[in-house]
Structure 1
Amino acid sequence: MNRLFFQPHQAGLSKVEAAEHTLRDINPDVSFEIHNYNITTMDNFTHFMERISHGGLEEGKPVDLVLSCVDNFEARMAINTACNELGQIWMESGVSENAVSGHIQLIIPGETACFACAPPLVVAAKIDEKTLKREGVCAASLPTTMGVVAGILVQNVLKYLLKFGTVSYYLGYNAMQDFFPTMAMKANPQCDDRHCRRQQEEYRKKEAERPKDEVLVVEEEIVHEDNDWGIELVSEVTDEELMAASGPVPDLPEGITVAYTIPDKNQETADGESVGETEQSLEELMSQMKTM
């Protein structure tokens, strides 16, 4: 937040206040509601859940989507717990501590993996994440990486809310190799979050009650099924000849293959004789054939 929104004249303001001032200057038609507190404490967590449930544009309605842009594991887990308990769809995002990679993730409680379904190795091994950070050492920061991840997150939000394109369930960004891995993770039946397991059970019940679409299989009419004369259509070109007729394969990046190749113009025929180009006209060639 402070890397993308903070301006020098906003010194002394909290992150949320600075972000609101900057964003309001960019688009004054947007309504903002800011709360400067730690969502991991009991009182603030209760208020956080209340705003998710009743903070929509329509009074008393829940929000359409929650976006997570926090910078620590505890805050992510608090958002994850709240959304699992409320059945709220949300998108998680983050940038690595070395600032050269990041990710976004769409989380649908019960349907896709929540943030606790596949915890980081440090958490799965019961190691306190605070022990990994050295005192006085700040994680690396590259506004470019954060800007790329923020742009990908907003793009995914637009596709989800406006219903166009393909919404990514998980999309990573590796700045060192310009690599964008994407995948979809299913919910973990042994997830530590009991609300996630409850949401999974409710999702399974909904899927079981949903009417199945019948697939109509249209059988193609078979002509001359009896085939009394045993007529068959076979290719006069063998696989070996087909391979020999293939042209050179271009040098392609890893993971990409060609569906076919273009035969060489000067390639030899099946009899071993090469067919070269000629400057004779079609009429001249036809006259030669008549004399044969």
Structure 2
Amino acid sequence: MSTRTAVVTGASSGIGAATARKLAEAGFHVVLTARRTDRLDALAAELTQAGRSVSVHALDVTDRAAVDAFATDLGEFPPLHVLVNNAGGAVGTDPVATADPADWRAMYEVNVLGVLNVTQALLPALSASGDGTIVVLSSTAGLATYEGGGGYVAAKHGAHVIAETLRLELNGHPVRIIEIAPGMVKTEEFALTRFRGDAERANAVYAGVAEPLTADDVADTVCWAVTRPSHVNVDLLVLRPRAQASNYKVHRVQ
């Protein structure tokens, strides 16, 4: 495969970092973006040492001016072929009746408006490449509800709808829209952030689950989807560990 360029948001850890590694291994020049430049620099050093082609751009996807400046800096050369909208996250598990609107706003900003910001800014370059792919990392939370997840569920439903609507609006254009919706994924930060640093509560999410998904599992799926022949579009792929039958039915070993 000739060198193709992929932008990965939220590439400083977890699924984003794992996806950046997989795409770099597959021969893409990977543009690493996130807020934490120290982590991006460490990942870039790791990949460069392994002979991969990467570059680093500090980026907060909720800052539209910064996103537009990033798109201008990126330009159209080399052509941009893939955008992986991975930046996101959850905060809190309060019921709707008592949830803090600030938490809901923060989740909406990154999971919905962040996807919108980066997609709008990079869509012209993706289209100009003649073979673009937009990946939206949503969640099974974007397909079904559960108690205590109202704000995150609402935000991920928003991300899901962006992918669905884009696929309709870009029909006939040389851009694919792929949505990957993971279920239970154990990463170093997701649950810890959701429980505001409470490691005991974060660990309890995965208690008794022999093999939750890993960041590498999701990254493998993303890489597989974007490397299908150009005429093949993976509209929506739901990815769960075998132990998870739904958002609220999980087999746990006592």
Global fold match (TM > 0.5): no
TM-score normalised by length of structure 1? 0.32
The structure carrying a bigger strand percent of its residues is 2
> Taking CA–CA contacts closer than 8 Å with sequence separation of 6 or more, which of the two structures ends up with the larger relative contact order?
2
TM-score (norm 2): 0.36
- Bigger proportion of residues as helix: 2
Between structure 1 and structure 2, the one with the greater Rg is 1
